[in-house]
Amino acid sequence: MRVAFQGEPGAYSEAATERFFGPTAEPVPCASFDEVYERVQSGNCDRGTVPIENSLAGSIHRNYDLLLRHDLFIVGEVILRVSHNLIANPGVALADLERVYSHPQALDQCEQTLKALLPAAQRIPTYDTAGSAKLLKERDDRHAAAIASRRAAELHGLSILRENLEDDPQNYTRFLILSRIAIQPASPAKTSIVFSARNVPGALFKSLSVFALRDIDLTKIESRPLQGRPWEYFFYVDFLGSLQEERCANAIANLKEIATFLRVLGSYPRDLGAAGGAS
């Protein structure tokens, strides 16, 4: 089982992959989210792991857009407690730091702590947390730190200057597992869909009524722009239940009657560990 993930070894997506599949799967590092989708779509990998949302910084919108551009299904979710570390080359002290490299989401999650700890240091956004750690090592940079996982520090022989850098310990990232083939899970399950509504008053309200009338619990709604139609939107909705359940299948049939576009991204087992129970 080859599982594509974005980032360098030591990335949080790699940890999520290991949590979901156990030690037997082979994690395959990818340079971009696009590459994750393409490797799964082409059959080069069997599954893909992508972050979709963080409990502090919000959604990873790129992955919402990529879900729509590819024909893959969501077959699982993993909710991971994310703990960030301030990482530097051995011997580098806090007072030496002029720059902090990390993914913008990680910088956001540590914003207040960084402001207090390193008020003058420049924050430099990168595409990757673990990749930022690798960069420090390669350049032997004595004036920069990275924000990344403990594993990334260990892999590159770097020092951890501070642990638990995140502003709030309630820091969880939700990852989706992608596959070419949909599954039909039993309860407790979650289903993800994307739809667009007509651009008329009350259209979103009517769309959500198909769930409310059946007491189906929405866990997430996200809007993304409809390309070429300024100020119209796709709505991504997650709800509790599987399409195997009649009331969920009926809700989707009902929504098809009123939506201008509808696609089911997949039903999959809920992750009830960690903060999963709260979702």
Nearest distance from C-beta of residue 2 to a copy of itself, angstroms: 26
Active site residue 173: yes
> What Å distances lie between residue 100 and 6, 83, 176, 182, 226, CA to CA?
21, 17, 28, 41, 35
Q: Is 198 in the site for a copy of itself (CB under 8 A)?
A: no
Taking contact as CB under 8 A, which single stretch among the options 5-13, 36-44, 57-65, 136-144 is the one that binds a copy of itself? 57-65
Q: Is 19 in the site for a copy of itself (CB under 8 A)?
A: no
At a CB cut-off of 8 Å and minimum separation 6, what does 97 contact? Answer: 88, 118, 121, 143, 144, 145
Active site residue 113: no
Task: Determine the 3-state secondary structure of 92 from DSSP.
Answer: coil
Q: Which is nearer to a copy of itself, 2 or 123 (CB)?
A: 123
Taking contact as CB under 8 A, which single stretch among the options 1-9, 43-51, 148-156, 218-226 is the one that binds a copy of itself? 218-226
Q: Is 272 in the site for a copy of itself (CB under 8 A)?
A: no
Residue 178 β-bridge partners: 48, 74
Q: Which is nearer to a copy of itself, 47 or 134 (CB)?
A: 134
Q: How far apart are CA 199 and CA 213, in angstroms?
A: 22
Q: Label residues 270-279 b or e (16+ Cβ within 10 Å = b).
A: bbeeebbeeb
Task: Determine the 3-state secondary structure of 179 from DSSP.
Answer: strand
At a CB cut-off of 8 Å and minimum separation 6, what does 279 contact? Answer: 79, 174, 219, 270
Site for a copy of itself in 122-151 (CB under 8 A): 125-127
Total interface residues for a copy of itself by CB under 8 A:
47
What is the contact surface with a copy of itself in residues (CB under 8 A)? 53-58, 61-62, 104, 108, 125-127, 167-168, 170, 172, 200-202, 204-206, 208-209, 211-212, 215-225, 227-231, 233, 275, 278-279
